[in-house]
Amino acid sequence: MNHKLTMARVEFKYTPHDITDKDVLYEDNHLIAVNKRAGDIVQVDETGDEPLDEKVKKYIAHKYSKPNGAFLGVVHRLDRPVSGVILFAKTSKALDRINQMFKKREMHKTYYAVVRKRPYPEEGTLVHWLVKNPQKNVTKAHDKEVQGSLRSELHYKLVGEQDGYYLIEVDPITGRPHQIRVQLSTLGCPIVGDNKYGYPRGSLRKNICLHARRLQFIHPIKKEPVLITAPVPQDGFWEKFEGMMR
């Protein structure tokens, strides 16, 4: 099937916001998961913008009438231009155990990316050695181990196509900075809007078509299976693909 691939500018609107009940995907006494909007930062950075962890703290403090504030532990991160499920710990006990689960790769994450080139092969496993330049905030992929590199692995498969855009399901085995972005780019399939990693044009809001869809794990306290799924952004673009997702 041949499609004429015209490079379109994809726009996402981002404005500062507070966390509300509709943003919360899962919550109990130990954990809270929210659907991160593209454009949110998870923790404070040099921009000075209010980070997501502070917004969630405010939400918990208001909901449960905690005048002295609420404890919240950051257990993983999503890049600022990425949307989707992100998990926080509400107790130190849960934080310690979740951190250990991430280190042991017992937290299973699934992402969806939209690209403009059909991947070849349509399903496979990518292994690279990644080196991050912290000054430029850019990660480079190498085919072989080099000094300072970290082995990075993910599994991907093509799951759908819409109007010349291709939806790829990604299951990262490791969790490295910018891993999915740089590894798909190395495959020849830069993510739509991600001009840092090879897409011809960025979005006006500097957000990219990468969504953290699912997080699966065994609850660190209750010892029961947990599956958290994040709806896609309601922006007039992502909705075309949600029916193709698990």
The residue-averaged pLDDT of 67-91 equals: 95
- CB proximity list for 7: less than 8 A, separation 6 or greater: 116, 200, 201
Note the pTM of the prediction, 2 decimals: 0.92
Residue 16 lies in a domain: no
CATH number of the domain that 182 lies in?
3.30.2350.10
Report cis status (omega within 30 of 0) of the bond before 121: yes
Instruction: Please give the pLDDT value at position 12.
Output: 41
Location of structure tokens 């600022």: 80
Q: Is the pLDDT of residue 1 over 70?
A: no
Instruction: Please give the pLDDT value at position 207.
Output: 86
SS3 category, 92: helix
Beta-strand relationship, 210-218 and 73-74 = unpaired
Beta-strand relationship, 108-115 and 210-218 = antiparallel
Residue 15 lies in a domain: no
The residue-averaged pLDDT of 79-91 equals: 97
Under 8 Å between Cβ of 193 and 208: yes
Element (H, E) at 132: strand 123-133
Per residue in 33-45, pLDDT (tens digit) is 999 999 999 998 8
Q: How far apart are the first and last CA of the chain?
A: 24
Per residue in 110-127, pLDDT (tens digit) is 999 999 999 999 999 999
Instruction: Please give the pLDDT value at position 145.
Output: 97
Instruction: Please give the pLDDT value at position 13.
Output: 46
Q: Is the pLDDT of residue 83 over 90?
A: yes
Residue 3 lies in a domain: no
The residue-averaged pLDDT of 73-91 equals: 97
Residue 218 lies in a domain: yes
**What distance in Å separates the CA atoms of residue 76 and residue 87, rounded to the nearest whole number?**
7
Instruction: Please give the pLDDT value at position 205.
Output: 58
Under 8 Å between Cβ of 82 and 193: no
The residues pairing with 154 across neighbouring beta strands, listed in sequence order, are 126, 172
Under 8 Å between Cβ of 82 and 109: no
- Per residue, the 3-state secondary structure of 181-197, as one string, reads HHHHHHCCCCECCCHHH
Q: Is 30 exposed, middle or buried (0-12, 13-18, 19+ CB in 10 A)?
A: middle
**What distance in Å separates the CA atoms of residue 17 and residue 10, rounded to the nearest whole number?**
22
Our count of domains for the chain comes to 1
Structural domain of 125: 21-244
pLDDT bracket for residue 190 (50, 70, 90): very high
Location of structure tokens 């969790």: 175
Residue 69 lies in a domain: yes
Instruction: Please give the pLDDT value at position 163.
Output: 95
> Which positions are catalytic?
79
Residue 12 lies in a domain: no
The residues pairing with 228 across neighbouring beta strands, listed in sequence order, are 215
Q: Is the pLDDT of residue 220 over 50?
A: yes
Residue 9 lies in a domain: no
Under 8 Å between Cβ of 111 and 212: yes
**What distance in Å separates the CA atoms of residue 190 and residue 199, rounded to the nearest whole number?**
5
